[in-house]
């Protein structure tokens, strides 16, 4: 009986241990590593690294391994070049001609020379900003607009400078605009009969005033040969017969108007004069030619002798 009791007690103890083990296995508390991993998964940066960083690093590694072989790199470059060429050389992207508008024939010829494009050419091969800078680098061009038009046309719209005067220097006769910007060489004065001829240092910096003076001097007609800038400060109006009208630094327009009015009333400029000096507004002076002075002295001498004989 004692043995049976001991066996029963042992069986009961074993059942108690089994129930304790089952209770320990079903314990919901995480382990230390599981707890740390769960905490990491709550971190946004860690989740982003797992979702983006790891795939990216894996892809880059595979790409580097694939591209480590030179033959594979060459093959990939050829495939990309063929794909690009097939797109760029499609008919809708091809430029067939260049149209230049708003410019003279001389400027158009210069543009075709400095922009040597062999048509047809893909629009992807054209550097429009560079073409625009090149065209605007021409002296006669104030501004240029370069654009692609439907139908495969490269259009260049030019705002060309207008010649306002001819500037005579030691190197020749040049065309300049109202801002004094050099446009080009004037081969012959007869090609620009209505334009004033300017000379002297600083003449190209006062083209606007020179044009106003030429308008005032219009009643003198073809006798006006040009204007000379004196000391970069004032103008001399040059006429035929070696006559000059010396204008002041300030009020040049008004001074010339006075001379023109005097000439229309008394034909002053038709006389044998060398200079009409208007530099002093309150005291204009006239200088006669040498022949006129000698003739005047002869007349005075004759008058004196005649009075003495009387």
pTM here is: 0.60
Q: Is residue 133 domain-shared with residue 243, that is, in the same domain?
A: no
Q: Exposed, middle or buried: residue 284 (CB in 10 Å: 0-12, 13-18, 19+)?
A: middle
Boundary (domain end) residue, out of 103, 138, 160? 160
pLDDT at 294: 60
Q: Is residue 184 domain-shared with residue 236, that is, in the same domain?
A: yes
Residues of the chain with pLDDT under 50: 1-7
Please tell me the distance from the alpha carbon of residue 8 to that of residue 205, in angstroms, as a whole number. 127
Q: Which of 238, 243, 247, 252 is nearest to 277 (CA)?
A: 247
pLDDT at 3: 47
What range does the domain containing 107 cover? 91-160
Boundary (domain end) residue, out of 160, 192, 210? 160
| Long-range pairs for 115-122: beta carbons < 8 A, 24 or more residues apart | 115/156, 117/154, 119/95, 120/94, 120/95, 120/96, 120/152, 121/94, 121/95, 122/88, 122/89, 122/93, 122/94, 122/95
Asked, for residue 74, whether it belongs to a domain, the answer is no
- Write out pLDDT tens, residues 125-152: 889 999 999 999 999 999 999 999 888 8
Please tell me the distance from the alpha carbon of residue 94 to that of residue 138, in angstroms, as a whole number. 27
Q: Exposed, middle or buried: residue 93 (CB in 10 Å: 0-12, 13-18, 19+)?
A: middle
pLDDT at 291: 65
Q: Which of 190, 198, 231 is nearest to 214 (CA)?
A: 198
pLDDT at 286: 84
Q: Is residue 190 domain-shared with residue 291, that is, in the same domain?
A: yes
Q: Is residue 142 domain-shared with residue 188, that is, in the same domain?
A: no
Q: Is residue 250 domain-shared with residue 275, that is, in the same domain?
A: yes
Q: Is residue 99 domain-shared with residue 178, that is, in the same domain?
A: no
Please tell me the distance from the alpha carbon of residue 50 to that of residue 250, in angstroms, as a whole number. 82
pLDDT at 283: 86
State the DSSP H helix or E strand holding residue 268, giving kind and residue range, or none if neither: none
Q: Is residue 171 domain-shared with residue 283, that is, in the same domain?
A: yes
Work out whether the CA dihedral 7, 9, 12, 13 comes out positive or negative. Answer: negative
Owner of token pair 């043995």: 3
Asked, for residue 19, whether it belongs to a domain, the answer is no
Please tell me the distance from the alpha carbon of residue 155 to that of residue 99, in angstroms, as a whole number. 5
pLDDT at 302: 63
pLDDT at 150: 86
Asked, for residue 199, whether it belongs to a domain, the answer is yes
Q: Secondary structure of 205-259 in the HEC alphabet? A: HCHHHHHHHHHHCHHHHHHEEEEEEECCCEEEEEECCCCEEECCCCCHHHHHHHH
- Write out pLDDT tens, residues 178-213: 888 999 888 888 888 888 899 998 898 899 999 999
Please tell me the distance from the alpha carbon of residue 266 to that of residue 169, in angstroms, as a whole number. 36
Q: Is residue 176 domain-shared with residue 288, that is, in the same domain?
A: yes
Asked, for residue 216, whether it belongs to a domain, the answer is yes
pLDDT at 4: 44
Asked, for residue 27, whether it belongs to a domain, the answer is no
């Amino acid at each position: 009986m004692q043995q049976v009791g001991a066996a029963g007690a042992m069986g009961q103890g074993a059942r108690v241990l089994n129930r304790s083990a089952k209770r320990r296995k079903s314990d919901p508390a995480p382990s230390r590593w599981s707890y740390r991993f769960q905490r990491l998964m709550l971190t946004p940066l860690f989740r982003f690294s797992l979702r983006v960083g790891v795939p990216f690093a894996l892809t880059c590694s595979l790409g580097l391994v694939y591209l480590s072989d030179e033959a594979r790199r060459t093959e990939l470059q050829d495939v990309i070049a063929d794909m690009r060429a097939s797109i760029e050389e499609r008919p809708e992207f091809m430029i067939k001609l260049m149209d230049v508008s708003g410019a003279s024939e001389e400027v158009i010829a210069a543009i075709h020379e400095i922009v040597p494009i062999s048509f047809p050419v893909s629009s992807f091969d054209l550097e429009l900003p560079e073409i625009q800078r090149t065209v605007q680098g021409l002296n006669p061009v104030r501004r240029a607009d370069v654009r692609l038009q439907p139908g495969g046309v490269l259009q260049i719209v030019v705002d060309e400078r207008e010649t306002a005067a001819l500037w005579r220097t030691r190197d020749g006769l040049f065309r300049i605009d109202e801002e004094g910007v050099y446009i080009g060489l004037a081969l012959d004065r007869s090609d620009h009969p209505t334009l004033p001829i300017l000379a002297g240092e600083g003449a190209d910096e006062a083209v606007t005033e020179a044009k106003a003076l030429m308008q005032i001097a219009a009643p003198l007609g073809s006798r006006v040969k040009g204007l000379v800038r004196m000391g970069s400060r004032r103008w001399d109006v040059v006429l035929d017969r070696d006559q000059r009208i010396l204008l002041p630094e300030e009020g040049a327009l008004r001074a010339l108007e006075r001379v023109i009015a005097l000439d229309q009333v008394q034909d002053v400029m038709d006389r044998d004069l060398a200079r009409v000096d208007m530099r002093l507004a309150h005291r204009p002076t006239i200088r006669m030619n040498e022949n006129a002075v000698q003739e005047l002295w002869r007349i005075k001498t004759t008058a004196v002798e005649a009075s003495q004989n009387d």
